[in-house]
Structure 1
């Protein structure tokens, strides 16, 4: 309350404008951290905080989940919105943006020799924040995160031992087996099978991982340990197997990459690929909702349907068509379907 609210919790009066406040999203994370602390370390579980009817004055459950705190969070959100703060999630990555990133990164000049990027060069040529090899690593990270609906921390912790290059019927296929996820800490996760996609090379995880495998061999980086490594100098990565790319570095590189293609990176975040992948499977590949839930690892009993709809629908995402053209019979067609060739919007 003291960090998020516009009112002073002691006096009940509005705070001075010079006092910083955190956003509603930040307040939600603070409440989640408190809930985790009480449930895991203090062993109070996830039950609502309530008074024991048999022993008045004593309480049981998690105090962070009390009705009073829940009512306060609802009130806080309402007041934040009235004050002009818009509570939104990160914009979903779309296929067109992935194509632009792929075109820019794959066409970036390749230099085999080791070099260091000077401050003068960074200032005069801001697009040279990284070279061809680092960009190929990022491209593989983008497409794997998007197709497998991975959280950014799950993608950054992928090891080479989790990836198996194999063939099925003569077709090269990548099998990705994650040892754990946020919702599956003890393993037992179904593998992800990624197939080539030559008609959409910007969404081809097999080609992206194979290219990064080849570049690691050229740099003398042994292929064990983390797949996505911390950067070294201008266009190299760490040779140490335990030097994974950090979250802050990934976000910085991603924003720089978006600026390369002329897109404002501010609406996007590390969760954009997970949300974008969900929308790509639903709108582009026409997967049923049940199949998307099974692929992404959502609960089998679908006890939280709001989660999937938050990923599929958000006003911050790029609209598929202008509202004024929804009933327009002369609306231009979309990209041809790779299976049937149709370009109508109902395909």
Structure 2
């Protein structure tokens, strides 16, 4: 809510992004952005949702892809009676793969698939075009380009999209329309943020992870941390990709996504300088697995 107010005062009322403060030359007058003030910032401290990390994405991918394929031709529709008797069957294989695609896109695009593009060299990629978002209400958003990642299928949007396409062809013939659909009849489909969170939390319970610390911002924060700590992107590239701080005058915008007490610790205290701690995954590009790579 404060971000929306800051944007309103900054863009529509042209008050900029300076902190709200008293005018030293005119008594009783102020200048700057009213929602960026010491009083407003001193309110209740916001607790960020815990970031989704790559190991959790891998567990979700493994569980969902190995879930038995349902006999039904619909996207994971399950009878009410069966859901009551077997709560673990809250969704079928097809719908779980739909969620998996949404997880990957939300994380890589920092929570912000519209079509396949085939390049001249035969490489497939997905281009995501958004009509608007919080900081761009009237459009003008640069597209997101997503490529295949065969070394990490749990982070590969092209593979997840291809699986969804194959399932759709098998069930409906040549698919058309929206990928993430609203509820149709008795078939379970995504229709709101609340319904997505219900399915996401059920999925976390499937892999024995407490869902309470997580929210929709988990993918935004997790994607930011993945780009910074796993792919080693420079901060400037992350800001440009996510559409944050166009003039880079507010480094706190990025920092709050990189670090929070709610996040799962990445390293035990005793291992920070331990020369014999377990090495990381081998990088497919440089073939290194040391922690300084």
One fold, TM greater than 0.5?
Answer: yes
Secondary structure of the residue aligned to 2:119 is strand
Q: 2:267 aligns with which of 316, 321, 343?
A: 321
Between the aligned partners of 1:251 and 1:166, the Cα distance in structure 2 is 33
Structure 1 residue 178 and structure 2 residue 130: aligned? Answer: yes
Between the aligned partners of 2:245 and 2:7, the Cα distance in structure 1 is 24
Residue 268 of structure 1 corresponds to which residue in structure 2? Answer: 214
Q: In the TM superposition, what is the alpha-carbon distance from 1:215 to its structure 2 partner?
A: 2.3
Residue 191 of structure 1 corresponds to which residue in structure 2? Answer: 143
Instruction: Judge which range, 278-287 or 180-189, deviates more.
Output: 180-189
* TM-score, length basis structure 1: 0.72
Structure 1 residue 71 and structure 2 residue 39: aligned? Answer: yes
Q: In the TM superposition, what is the alpha-carbon distance from 1:73 to its structure 2 partner?
A: 5.3
Residue 95 of structure 1 corresponds to which residue in structure 2? Answer: 54
Which digits, 9 at most, give the CA deviation of each residue in 1:177-215, with x for residues without a partner?
Answer: 222222222222222111111100000101111222232
Q: In the TM superposition, what is the alpha-carbon distance from 1:232 to its structure 2 partner?
A: 4.8
| Backbone CA RMSD of aligned residues | 3.2
Aligned length: 286
Asked if 1 retains the 8 angstrom alpha-carbon contact of 2:6 and 2:36, the reply is no
Q: In the TM superposition, what is the alpha-carbon distance from 1:94 to its structure 2 partner?
A: 0.5
Residue 10 of structure 1 corresponds to which residue in structure 2? Answer: none
Asked if 2 retains the 8 angstrom alpha-carbon contact of 1:39 and 1:62, the reply is no
Structure 1 residue 123 and structure 2 residue 69: aligned? Answer: no
Between the aligned partners of 2:193 and 2:213, the Cα distance in structure 1 is 17
Asked if 2 retains the 8 angstrom alpha-carbon contact of 1:91 and 1:317, the reply is yes
Asked if 2 retains the 8 angstrom alpha-carbon contact of 1:166 and 1:175, the reply is no
Secondary structure of the residue aligned to 1:318 is coil
CA 1:193–1:37: 2 relative to 1, 3 Å? closer
Q: In the TM superposition, what is the alpha-carbon distance from 1:224 to its structure 2 partner?
A: 4.5
Asked if 2 retains the 8 angstrom alpha-carbon contact of 1:49 and 1:66, the reply is no
Unmatched tracts of structure 1, length 5 or more: 1-28, 78-85, 152-157, 239-243
Secondary structure of the residue aligned to 1:136 is helix
Between the aligned partners of 2:39 and 2:27, the Cα distance in structure 1 is 25
Q: 2:109 aligns with which of 140, 148, 152?
A: 148
Instruction: Judge which range, 194-203 or 164-173, deviates more.
Output: 164-173
Residue 180 of structure 2 corresponds to which residue in structure 1? Answer: 228
Q: In the TM superposition, what is the alpha-carbon distance from 1:287 to its structure 2 partner?
A: 1.1
Between the aligned partners of 1:129 and 1:36, the Cα distance in structure 2 is 40
Structure 1 residue 305 and structure 2 residue 241: aligned? Answer: no
Which digits, 9 at most, give the CA deviation of each residue in 1:232-264, with x for residues without a partner?
Answer: 577x466xxxxx621111111100000000000
Instruction: Judge which range, 111-120 or 90-99, deviates more.
Output: 111-120
Secondary structure of the residue aligned to 1:140 is helix
Q: In the TM superposition, what is the alpha-carbon distance from 1:36 to its structure 2 partner?
A: 7.7
Which digits, 9 at most, give the CA deviation of each residue in 1:240-299, with x for residues without a partner?
Answer: xxxx62111111110000000000011110011111111111111111111111211123
Task: Give matches, 1:268-287, under 5 Å.
Answer: 268-287=214-233
Unmatched tracts of structure 2, length 5 or more: none
Which one has a bigger Cα radius of gyration? Answer: 1
Secondary structure of the residue aligned to 2:125 is strand
